[in-house]
Amino acid sequence: MESDPVTVIAEQPEALAAKQAITELVYRYGQLVRYDRPEETAELYLPGGVFVVLRGPPDGPHTAVQSRVEGRQAIRDMLLPSKGKPHPVPLIHNLSIAVDGDSATGTCVMQSPTSADGKGFWGEYRDRYARVDGRWYFAERVFTMYEFAA
């Protein structure tokens, strides 16, 4: 018999606290991107964190790698040139997190108009998180930007 997720969460207060901390991490990321603060955004990653952007259809097996950046400093270097320019305004939906001790995985959908014209893009994050010294970080963020058939 499949367990009831609400009951499982209620029976695991440590996991619930971890999920809340990771939720705040994801929301903080979106907030920092929206406020155009790339230096602080990079600090949410582990020193060896990875950020990948893929392109492909929703739930499709075929994706193309648009970019892959490894390391907090490299992520910062990637983000800084966009400071002061039109930027995404991330709207996060359907956040789901699974915790396993000091590591976790998660997914969420992001819809993102841009600050300049309100047009934008959307896709899905698949994340890996790690807790270091009591604080949660992104170990890896893989964002698939959805492409739709004409």
In the chain, what are the domain boundaries?
Answer: 5-146
Judged by average pLDDT, the poorest of 41-45, 86-90, 93-97, 130-134 is 86-90
| CA dihedral of residues 89, 50, 48, 98 (deg, nearest 10) | 80
Residue 120's beta-bridge partner residues?
A: 113
Q: Return the SS3 of 5.
A: helix
- Whether residue 2 has pLDDT greater than 70: no
Whole-model pTM?
0.86
| Helices and strands (DSSP H and E) totals, the chain | 4, 6
Place of tokens 């939906």: 93
Alpha-carbon distance of 38 to 44, in angstroms, equals: 10
Please compute the mean of the pLDDT values over residues 79-108 and round it to a whole number.
Answer: 93
Under CATH, which architecture does the 5-146 domain have? Roll (3.10)
Which is more confidently placed, 119 or 90? 90
Which is more confidently placed, 6 or 17? 17
Quote the pLDDT of residue 89. Answer: 87
Residues 6+ apart with CB under 8 A from 39: 76, 79, 80
Q: Model confidence over 36-81: pLDDT tens digits?
A: 999 999 999 999 999 999 998 877 766 788 999 999 999 999 999 9
Which is more confidently placed, 10 or 86? 86
